[in-house]
Amino acid sequence: MHGVYGRILNPTAENAAREGSGAAIKGKERARPVIGLLNNSKLNVSFFLETVEGLLRKEGYETFNTTKPRTAAPCPDIDLLAERCDFVINAVSE
């Protein structure tokens, strides 16, 4: 995998964290991280993410929402999520 996709979508496990792996984004000037909420279009995900978003906003976090057009399709906004968000919650539900 190349670039951002290798860091975000690589599901392989490692025994120890690599130094300089890019897992944590540092240097962004904001009081709280921006949390991305990725809806995979399955049943009940919207309800779950709305609840999570409400809790995050009560704590003062900014959120960014996006929805995949189809469950099995890649996320067309993956680059935008990587650019705008410090963390992303990828919700999968039935």
From first to last of its 94 residues, the chain has per-residue pLDDT tens of 455 544 555 555 555 555 544 544 544 667 789 999 999 998 889 999 999 999 999 999 999 999 999 888 889 999 999 999 999 999 887 6
Rounded Cα gap, residues 43 and 4, in angstroms: 28
Question: What count of other Cβ atoms lies within 10 Å of the Cβ of residue 36?
Answer: 21
Rounded Cα gap, residues 14 and 43, in angstroms: 32
pTM of the predicted model over 0.85? no
Give the pLDDT confidence score for residue 18 in this predicted structure: 52
Give the pLDDT confidence score for residue 72 in this predicted structure: 86
Give the pLDDT confidence score for residue 27 in this predicted structure: 46
Give the pLDDT confidence score for residue 76 in this predicted structure: 92
Q: Check if the beta carbon of residue 80 is closer than 8 Å to that of residue 34.
A: no
